[in-house]
Structure 1
């Protein structure tokens, strides 16, 4: 049994789930609701309230679930799961490490808190990227936990330049606080970006007042191809000038 929740904040759609889910549930409720949400905002913020009598999915519904998940996974801004069932809470907490979007579990009765958490999530990528075509320097503003989409956005800016010019003159990372990652998937994508791009970037400037910035920069300067240098958080212009140098 499944029913759509009403009275949620704008941009948040929700489901109350109980019993055993069937293919009909996906065809009549879940699929159309996801489609409406994507047509309205393009992004998905989903609240799933699981009742005590939930029994799982029929085999056919499992296939529908996988298909829906693969087709929409890149469109989620976040998912909140409301349940007191230990196994489901644990599964959600583990899943939060591998999905490419924020996922959080709330106790039964926490629908309002879950809905407000979803509504407050940033709508855009956590990294704002700007390329200065005159100097060949990319500046990335980082202020929240990193997602897979952030590295895709960074690569989409860097890759065309390196294909045309061979290498990027400089990358400036302006980090206001230690951001962390939203999932294991974003950690893996971070590693992939570093491995795939470090030989194509001449200089990296780390602009931050976080206590570990200098230590990280010194370690990276010894381990990777680009020269890496730390700058104070207020020295963005100086960092960009240094990154543009020969």
Structure 2
């Protein structure tokens, strides 16, 4: 499930991922949010709170994840991934080698720090 975090400042797009994640959710829920965010801000500042185990991403979601990264390739400015799963956080560090912009990973207990960084 993908939940849009509406309490963040307007220039930050936040999503909380829990349970099973599918490619259909990316297409139906995340892509319209990204399109609107880019229209309003010109670049992407993205906060992902990842409480879904990466194993719960179906194959289509993995392709959707890569596809979204490439579709908006020149728009990424800052990306913060917040999760307590060390393996997921380490895997997410690959974003800094693939996508332009700045990337940081945080533990759930560091959510406030992640929000401060992404909003600065």
TM-score by length of 1: 0.45
Deviation track 1:11-47 (CA, whole Å, cap 9, x = no partner) reads 0011111222112211221011101101101110000
Assess, with a 3 A threshold, how the Cα gap between structure 1 residues 97 and 9 changes in structure 2: closer, same or farther: same
User: In the alignment, does 2:108 pair up with 1:111?
Assistant: no
Gaps of 5+ in 1: 121-246
TM-score by length of 2: 0.88
Assess, with a 3 A threshold, how the Cα gap between structure 1 residues 91 and 53 changes in structure 2: closer, same or farther: closer
Q: 1:96 maps to what in 2? A: 96
- After superposition, residues 49-198 of structure 1 pair within 5 angstroms as 49-51=49-51, 53=53, 55-120=55-120
Q: Aligned partners of 1:54 and 1:45: how far apart in 2?
A: 22
Q: What's the Cα RMSD here?
A: 1.8
Give the CA deviation at 1:10: 2.7
- After superposition, residues 34-53 of structure 1 pair within 5 angstroms as 34-51=34-51, 53=53
Q: Aligned partners of 1:65 and 1:113: how far apart in 2?
A: 25
User: Which segment drifts farther, 82-91 or 108-117?
Assistant: 108-117
DSSP-derived class of the 2:109 partner: coil
CA contact (8 A) 1:78 1:102 kept: yes
Give the number of the structure whose residues are more often helix, by fraction.
2
* Structure with more contact order per residue of length (Cα contacts < 8 Å, sep ≥ 6): 2
Gaps of 5+ in 2: none
Aligned residues: 120
CA contact (8 A) 1:96 1:102 kept: yes
Assess, with a 3 A threshold, how the Cα gap between structure 1 residues 93 and 59 changes in structure 2: closer, same or farther: closer
Give the CA deviation at 1:9: 1.9
Give the CA deviation at 1:103: 0.3
Which of 1 and 2 has greater Rg?
1
Assess, with a 3 A threshold, how the Cα gap between structure 1 residues 28 and 49 changes in structure 2: closer, same or farther: same
Give the CA deviation at 1:95: 3.4
